[in-house]
Amino acid sequence: MLIKSTKSSDCHESDVTPESLYLSRRSLLCGAVTGLAASTLPSWASAQEPSRYADVEPGRAPTWFAEKLSHAQWQAVNVKDEAITPFKDATHYNNFYEFGTDKGDPAANAGALKTEPWSVVIDGEVAKPGRYALEDFMKPYQLEERIYRLRCVEAWSMVIPWLGFPISALLKQVEPTSKARFIRFETLQDPKVMPGQRSGFALIDWPYVEGLRLDEAMNPLAILAVGMYGRELPNQNGAPLRLVVPWKYGFKSIKSIVRISLVSEQPKTTWQSIAADEYGFYANVNPTVDHPRWTQARERRLPSGLFSPNVRETRMFNGYSEEVASLYTGLDLRKNY
Ligand SMILES: Nc1nc2c(c(=O)[nH]1)N[C@H]1C(S)=C(S)[C@@H](COP(=O)(O)O)O[C@H]1N2
Ligand SMILES: [Mo]
């Protein structure tokens, strides 16, 4: 029945499990879960996948997602000794300006976003451009759970268990040409369902755009996510497809992606266009380079309140130096913030 089993020493669930975190019977099997073939799953683990995390609002996942979830590689990347942020906080304290600028606006307004059907365009400097239904776009990839720190440029942070796949796998599929040096991502533009795109005072020139250097996108930590907390992405977190780049400030992790382009020039990104002196293209988490209006040396780890602010030191590259520092050798990180 077990096709593949990981060593029990690879089992670090308890290291990251807060008191409140409920582990289902499946996840208690830990490494063994990874090796279960879908067909051998007992009935209690079928169709309606029980959540691995406490207090997770069940979603209504499309069939393709439920199918992929049964083959997911759990905890492919993990953080140690840091509690996962409660689902409630991760889904009710958001930045998604298309749905409003208050932290509660995305949860209140993003329900109107229709994520099925959804299509993704791949274009630019690639041998295999195209427009795909999300379900087809996802076909080649196995879901991996990546438990990452998320550090917003506003100096708060969370720990979120994402479900996604490395961008490097996508690049292998679409075959960038020799001219491709950057990857550019674009969010849906639909003022009918996105009130932030209608309001006249908005500073943003929609759609929201982000980008990475091609070698950054190839780093194994950079993923495209379709789920979190063992379920599909809630709309306010960027359903049905978003970027997650854990060593960079949160604004790089663009939500609700409809277009991915391989380009030869560095793309003009949204926050750079609004305030280039405050938000750079690189946006690597860096406690030694302050934002012009506040320090980046520390962060509030959510949940954070008046009486327990839960402040911690911010780490270089958000704690992922070992994996990513070599991408920036020779680059002046003070200039290239
Ligand atoms: N399209 C779009 N993507 C976006 C944003 C946005 O306003 N619009 N906000 C960014 C910012 S500033 C952060 S911190 C993260 C927040 O992700 P979360 O709400 O899932 O925690 O999303 C990023 N992606
Ligand atoms: Mo952010």
Q: Using CA atoms, how far apart are residues 169 and 220, in angstroms rounded to an integer? A: 9
Three-state SS at 77: strand
> What confidence score (pLDDT) does residue 37 get?
44
Q: Whose CA is nearest to atom 8 of ligand 1?
A: 96
pTM attached to this predicted model: 0.88
Q: Which domains does the chain have, with CATH numbers?
A: 73-328 (3.90.420.10)
Q: Is 95 near ligand 1, meaning CB less than 6 Å away? A: yes
H-state helical runs in the chain:
13-16, 25-28, 31-34, 63-69, 87-92, 105-109, 134-138, 167-174, 214-218, 270-274, 321-324
pLDDT at 201: 64
Q: What is the pLDDT of residue 199?
A: 79
Which pLDDT score is estimated for 52? 87
CA neighbor of 165 nearest in space, from 145, 137, 149? 145
What is the Cα–Cα distance from 181 to 265, expressed in whole angstroms?
7
Q: Are 296 and 287 in contact (CB under 8 A)?
A: yes
CA of 295 to the centre of ligand 2 (A): 15
Per residue in 98-143, pLDDT (tens digit) is 999 999 999 999 999 999 999 999 999 999 999 999 999 999 999 9
Neighbours of 163 (CB within 10 A): 25
Which residue CA neighbors atom 23 of ligand 1 most closely? 251
Q: Among all ligands shown, which has an atom nearest to the Cα of 254?
A: 1
Token pair for 205: 């020139």
Instruction: Give me the pLDDT at residue 47, please.
Output: 46
Residue 44 pLDDT? 41
Pocket perturbation via mutation, ligand 1, pick of 94, 251, 273 by most ligand atoms within 8 A of CB: 251
| 10-residue mean pLDDT series, the chain (337 residues) | 38 39 37 42 47 91 97 96 97 97 98 98 98 98 98 98 98 98 98 91 89 98 98 98 99 99 98 96 98 98 94 98 98 97
